[in-house]
A and B are shown apart, each in its own frame.
Chain A
Amino acid sequence: MKDEEELDRIMTDHTSLLFRIAYYYTKNLHTAEDIVQEVFIKFFQSNVQLSEEDLKPYLIRMTANKAKDYLKSWHYRKLVLQERLFSSKTVTEKDALIQQDEEAEISKAVLALPVKQREAIVYYYMEGLNIREIASLLNMPESTMKSRLAKGREQLKEQLKSIEWEVLMDETI
């Protein structure tokens, strides 16, 4: 088991990134919290020793895998089903209000993408990784990554016709 100081340092350095990644997949802040928490616990208990360079991709991969596992779980599928069956009008009205906000619309569009395109888009545009890094992280050929990215962009453009969404890339964090 790693010592307290190291645990603190690793969590301070990586929690924010891992939380965002978990959210990109799960689209739920609380579930993302749970997943990152689980990733850290598993990592600390496994006593894996990694260099600083390897640690970040290792944790990202763990988080992505855990999040994908969650998307395949019965718990998640049950939630999706419930959402479809029992979504009420009041919620729809509320959504409409949010949609007036362009930023909210972008979020909605990104999170509505299928997982394969979504992960390409978020790693590239929102986490600033290059194609080679994403391909290595997700263990797939660069060409596949490029085509997923292109497809994701097409789908986003389609959904965000009213917004010059590429412009937002320059916005400060």
Chain B
Amino acid sequence: MRPYKLKELRQTKQHEEAIIRRVKQNLSQNRPKRRILAPVLAAVVTAAALVFVFLQYSGGTVREQSARGYTILHVFEQVDGNGAAYSELFKEFDHQDLRRLKYFKPVPLTEFLNANNAMIPDIIEPFNKSNAEVLAVNDGMQTELQFSFRNGEEYMVISVAKHFMNSLYPDFLADLTEDAVGNRVEQEMLDETTPLIHQIRTTNSALAYRYFTFDDEKNEMNVTQTTANELYTYYNGAIYHVGYNIEGNHEEVVSYVKEFILQNNLQEVGLEHNLMGEQEHAKGGKSMLMGAAILIGGLIFAAVLTKGIGKRKKRIIWGITTMLVIAPLLSWLIGMSYAIYEGDGFAGIGVMLILLPPLFLAGLVILLIGIFKKETN
């Protein structure tokens, strides 16, 4: 018995030829696309991995800078310590209270100045250069120097802390005539544009004044809280915070502090020292490796998932992968790599903000095409 053929299917030669012709045509059109996609993807991932490895081993600009700029800290011995000194009045603007610090044991002022070719104006009476001390703390990137002058109960502590942002907010300063507990606040002028804020104790109470003290017995640095007259300004990229307690004329102190701020050469000697230890770098490196691994894993997973399925589903899967995996991780990795290279976290954040939206949008477009475009051959 021979199989029966429907009438419509007895002459199908023409249809068969059309099918074969169109399949061949379609395959020849699709071939180059498939050849390009994989190498491009592989090249991007490989380039990202190479840049990452290069940055890990070269250390970038920051580490070179830190190697050059260690001179100031060479005279100090690193010790354990707790807490951070800051101005109670300005902590909301300079955030110095939030720092996590490395501490450096005090050295005599003369030793520090000689070792570093540093210069400060001659100290005023009743203080003496010979018993003055300098200590340092570092927040991982920037160094603060604290100069302590003592004469019995009288003291003057001047701290110079490198800071990236001007903490003197005009709006805040406009109405500043007394502090929170009623002590008088005077605004001296350091130069034509820079105010020097002077908190003078005029009541029995006062805001806490904090400064670093070294405990010889425990060989560690602590923060001491007391009450004092204070001076505060931001000048030439550094916060100057002074606490003093003297019996004589305040004006002499103010005048010396102005001279100290305007004439020291500490900025030239350098107050930026990247002491972010290997541990922190390793931590950062590990999270970047983890990010890269998740990114590559996501790409492989999406590639496996989309193998041999229709264009529509392929677009949907790749769209979602681009939006949720590629866009955030790739922009983060590139941003972080750039931040390490430039030695500036803000540069990295900038790159991330530039890269994230277009990548995310590209993913969204792929997803929407996948959802709405009819699958055709």
Contact = CB atoms under 8 A, between A and B. Distances in A.
A125 B26 contact: no
A23 B8 CA distance: 9
Interface in A51-77: none
Contact of A7 (B6, B15, B27): B27
B1 A169 contact: yes
Chain B interface helix/strand/loop/mixed: helix
Interface string A33-45: 1101110111011
A34 B374 CA distance: 14
A33 B19 contact: yes
A172 B6 CA distance: 12
A157 B19 CA distance: 35
A104 B10 CA distance: 12
Contact of B15 (A32, A42, A125, A168): A32
B315 to A, nearest CB: 15
Chain A interface helix/strand/loop/mixed: helix
Residue among B1, B9, B34 with the highest chain A CB neighbour number at 10 A = B9
A28 to B, nearest CB: 10
B377 A38 contact: yes
Given A20-B9, A23-B8, A15 B19 contact: yes
Interface residues of A, number: 43
Contacts of A40: 19, 23
B58 to A, nearest CB: 42
Contacts, number: 95
A20 B23 contact: no
Interface string B11-29: 0100110111011101100
Contact of A44 (B2, B4, B16, B23): B23
Nearest to B6: A107
25 contacts: A12-B20, A19-B15, A20-B5, A24-B6, A29-B8, A33-B18, A36-B19, A37-B22, A40-B19, A40-B23, A41-B377, A45-B27, A46-B307, A47-B308, A48-B308, A106-B6, A106-B7, A107-B6, A110-B6, A126-B4, A126-B6, A168-B4, A169-B1, A171-B4, A173-B3
Interface of A: 1, 7-8, 11-12, 15-16, 19-20, 23-24, 29, 32-34, 36-38, 40-42, 44-48, 101, 103-104, 106-107, 110-111, 125-128, 168-173
